[in-house]
Homo-oligomer: A and B are copies of this chain.
Amino acid sequence: MSLRAVILITLQHEPGTGYDILQRFKTGLSHVWQASHQQLYRELDRMRGAGLLTCETMPQAERPDRKVYRLTDAGRQALDSWLADPLAASPVRQPLFAKFFAWEHWPEQARHQELAALKEQLKERLATYADIEHEWFSDPKALTPGQRAPWHTLRLGQRLTETWIEWLEEVMEEQQE
């Protein structure tokens, strides 16, 4: 399960709480992984149970306790073996493509709305990429290899999104004729 590995990665340098990890998912890792808080809290507890993480409870005056998780040696080892193992190919699932295969039954209005909304989402995603790039990778030439690698993932995300948008525009234009 990759969620586990992603958690290990987010915690390898700085320990943190479930909520901290959620915030990292929402900002600098939003093009890499997304998970709900329920998933995260459950998984953190299981990882602690499996000995991959330790949990230090920080009591806060008149507030719920903060539970700070940090990697154990077993956790570091689990991360290493995950890195060494090549990933399985993920199955293709493109529900939008499926709609294109039911073109005759897809009402024109619903179709246009859906494609327009998607285009907006993709543009927002580009804006998010730009934010991340600005905040974390403002000077690509000065990056160490370890910093440069994550930057590459951002670039691919950008290019893929651009490819999608171009395609959408072509398809939508063809519809207007």
A residues with a Cβ closer than 8 A to B are: 2, 5-6, 9, 12, 29-35, 79-80, 83-87, 89-107, 110, 113-114, 117, 121, 145-146, 149-150, 152-153, 155-157, 159-160, 163-164, 166-167, 171
Contacts of A5 in B (CB 8 A): 95, 98
Q: Are B84 and A32 in contact (CB under 8 A)?
A: no
B83 and A105 contacting across the interface, CB-CB below 8 Å: yes
Chain copies in the assembly?
2
Q: Which has the most chain B C-beta neighbours within 10 Å: A85, A95, A166?
A: A95
Check A98–B156 contact: CB distance below 8 A: no
Can you name 20 extra interface pairs (CB under 8 A) apart from A86-B117, A87-B99? A2-B95, A6-B95, A6-B98, A12-B105, A32-B92, A33-B98, A34-B91, A34-B92, A79-B102, A79-B105, A83-B99, A85-B110, A87-B95, A89-B121, A90-B95, A100-B149, A103-B145, A103-B149, A152-B167, A156-B163
